Amino acid sequence: MRITLIGSGNVATHLAAALKNAGHRIIQVYSRNAQHAALLAYHVGAEAIDNLATINSDTDIFIISVKDDAIIEMVKTLAGYQKLIVHTSGSTNLNDILAFTDKAGVLYPLQTFSKIKEVDFWTVPLCIEAANDDIKAVLKQLATTISNNVYDVNSADRKILHLAAVFACNFPNYLYAVAQQLLAAHELSFDMLKPLILETAQKVQTQLPASVQTGPAVRNDRVTMNAHLQMLKTEPHWQELYTLLSQGIIKNNNEGHGDK
């Protein structure tokens, strides 16, 4: 398939590599930043452009992988080409795109991406949605060339997945950062926590998270929790976070969500 990629960020970078490796041809890579477009285009053998006026119409599909608040403007510009337009957003409703074109779909990869770390794209869940069954068939065929985990997910459910992903990925990563800063302030290495982080992640591969919850909150160990809060007295925002999360764990456990 001939593909034009709109965007050059983390998602676009990994998606472009997966598509190229699957034998698809990336025609152009667009970015407002010419250097970013050039770098990604170089790696996938495409033409780099930083002006949508230079779009090559000889393509099968536009894949938009930009910030959510820029998607609609891109769609408005590209709709006139009468080509299939797909976005990769977790929270943008398909109907928002259908207001400008009936050749529309979604190809949402449910994964965290960064340019500094490779991801096995075959394991990435790809959530697809389309304006009609014919487009869905095209997207499913495309998706199965780069991933073994393809799901039909409507816009409402995709938003739930995106929200759940924030809780499962973005928030824990912030907590890792808090832990790292806490340790660094006392000249302790974050490396000491890595086996704990790995073990926690491995447990939820086979068990429900609530059933393997540990720590002072699940035991309702007020002495330890109060001691921790005292240790955080110079960081009131961390104190507040500690209290809120502990209360959530206690409530979850009391409601029986941790029962096996």
Confidence grade of residue 78 (pLDDT, cut at 50, 70, 90): very high
- Residue 259 pLDDT more than 80? no
Identify whether 210 is part of a domain.
yes
Confidence grade of residue 8 (pLDDT, cut at 50, 70, 90): very high
Q: Are 130 and 177 within one domain? A: no
Give pLDDT, residue 241. Answer: 97
**Which residue range is the domain that position 205 belongs to?**
159-254
Mean pLDDT score, 167-190:
97
Neighbour count for residue 176 (Cβ, 10 Å): 14
Confidence grade of residue 253 (pLDDT, cut at 50, 70, 90): confident
Identify whether 118 is part of a domain.
yes
What is the number of domains present in the chain?
2
Q: Are 201 and 178 within one domain? A: yes
Q: Could you tell me which of 96, 101, 105, 98 has the C-alpha nearest to residue 82?
A: 101
Mean pLDDT score, 136-158:
97
Using CA atoms of 188, 194, 197, 200 in order, give the dihedral in degrees to the nearest 10: -120
Size of the chain in residues:
260
Q: Are 140 and 66 within one domain? A: yes
The per-residue pLDDT for range 85-95, each reduced to its tens digit, is 999 999 999 99
Mean pLDDT score, 148-160:
97
Dist. CA 28–CA 235, nearest whole Å? 49
Task: Please give the share of the chain, as a percent, with pLDDT higher than 70.
Answer: 98
CATH number at residue 201: 1.10.1040.20
End-to-end CA distance of the chain: 48
Confidence grade of residue 140 (pLDDT, cut at 50, 70, 90): very high
Identify whether 260 is part of a domain.
no
Q: Are 130 and 23 within one domain? A: yes
97 in Cβ contact with 73 (< 8 Å): no
Mean pLDDT score, 245-255:
92
- Residue 73 pLDDT more than 70? yes
Question: 168 burial class (0-12, 13-18, 19+ CB within 10 angstroms)?
Answer: middle
178-193 in b/e form (b: 16+ CB < 10 A) is: eeeeeeeeeeeeeeee
Mean pLDDT score, 41-51:
96
Q: Are 103 and 128 within one domain? A: yes
Confidence grade of residue 17 (pLDDT, cut at 50, 70, 90): very high
Q: Are 194 and 120 within one domain? A: no
The overall average pLDDT reported for the chain is: 95
- Residue 260 pLDDT more than 70? no
Dist. CA 109–CA 11, nearest whole Å? 8
Q: Are 61 and 180 within one domain? A: no
Half-sphere exposure for 22 (CA within 13 Å, toward CB):
22
- Residue 227 pLDDT more than 50? yes
CATH number at residue 79: 3.40.50.720
Identify whether 176 is part of a domain.
yes
Pairing of strands 84-87, 125-130: unpaired
Q: Which of 130, 153, 176 is the last residue of a domain?
A: 153
Predicted structure pTM score:
0.89
Give pLDDT, residue 254. Answer: 84
Mean pLDDT score, 114-125:
92
Q: Are 17 and 139 within one domain? A: yes
